[in-house]
Amino acid sequence: MEVATLKDVAKETGLTVSTISRVLNNRGYISEETRQNVYDAMKRLNYQPNEVARSLSKKSTNTIGVIVPHIRHPYFAELISNLENQAYLHKYKILLFNSKEKDEKEREYLEMCTSNRVSGVILCSGTVAVGEFSRLNIPLVTIERYLENGTASIECDNLQGGRLAAKHLMESGCEHLIHFSGVSERSMPADARGEGFREVCSSSGIDFKEVTTSELQYNNLEYHDFIENILKENPDTDGIFASSDLIAAQVIQVCAKMKISIPDQLKIVGFDDVYLASLTTPRITTIHQPVREMAQMAIELVIAAGEGKLVPNRTMLPVSLIKRETT
């Protein structure tokens, strides 16, 4: 059986080889009808595009590298799903790397992205030093991490999220608050959640405490013993702001073990509004982070920057409070 070529597809559709090539490489304006005709002809002829040849001629593939520190964490699982969805809508694929916050892995993955001729890289947090990115000659978009030499960064309004959480807990009648913050070992945009929380508590004169989590806990996604010890040391606590829905869910489990009634004795606000937040009993009141919109923007910025268009260096998207049963 003969292998179908680009010329065969052109003959089948009555179009030129260059038009078929533009459809395959997603270049220039092509009507939806023409695009569909080409895909139908490819299917009939069982034509398989040669990805390697295409990448050599284009100097890049329709692939975007995505580097995340976790794939098990509910937030990153949701973000990855949305990034893949958005990439597919633009006729792109993603190449996924799980760095586990290790510098050497992130460096290795950046090199793999370059050797695989990706169109751009989306970095979701991370620890690699700024200088490592100066050698990249492709768009670099960060989510919840700001790099001065990156192409673009996308963040949610973490400061406002912290303010909303503190305000809601106080309005719900809480007088002794605790904030379980992010990892203490590194500085990230998410730290602003604690700033917003602190700002509202301090100006209101309310009793509050902040406790930082460790890198080990973050890597293992395990906070139960830590939460239990904090609650035992602070028996008056009646409101908790957790820096993620994952931590909030574990607070619910610890409270069940300690016979603390939610929301009667203790109220909880999480952060992210991932699927997990509506699966717990009681369901988690949380700060909604616009993950779908952030993913959509990240993909669009990589593509636009790759086409030589000017893109905003830093974008901040709004957050909102989603009230559920933990308050």
Going residue by residue through the chain, which has 327 residues, state the pLDDT in tens, using 9 for 90 and above.
567 788 888 888 888 888 888 787 776 778 888 888 888 888 888 877 665 555 544 555 788 989 888 888 999 999 999 999 999 999 899 988 887 766 666 667 777 777 677 888 898 866 555 555 556 678 889 998 877 667 788 999 999 999 999 999 999 999 999 999 977 666 788 889 999 999 999 999 999 999 998 888 888 899 999 999 999 999 999 999 999 999 999 999 999 999 999 999 999 999 999 999 999 999 999 999 999 999 999 999 999 988 888 888 889 999 999 999 999
26, 69: one domain: no
For 20, the domain range is 6-49
153, 168: one domain: no
Q: Which of these, 244, 243, 319, lies nearest to 276 by C-alpha position? A: 244
149, 163: one domain: no
104, 221: one domain: no
Neighbouring residues of 103: CB distance < 8 A, sequence distance ≥ 6: 127, 128, 129
CATH code, domain with 245: 3.40.50.2300
203, 134: one domain: no
Q: Would 1 be classed as within a structural domain?
A: no
Q: Would 327 be classed as within a structural domain?
A: no
Strand (E) or helix (H) holding 245: helix 245-257
Q: Would 325 be classed as within a structural domain?
A: no
CATH code, domain with 13: 1.10.260.40
* Contact (CB, 8 A) for 182 and 240: no
Strands in 314-317's sheet, in edge-to-edge order, are 93-98, 63-68, 120-124, 140-143, 152-156, 314-317
Rounded to 10°, the helix 74-89/291-306 angle is 50
Reported as a single tens digit per residue, the pLDDT across 72-94 is 899 999 999 999 999 999 989 99
- Measured between alpha carbons, how far apart are the two ends of the chain, in Å? 67
Query: Can you give the pTM of this predicted structure?
Result: 0.79
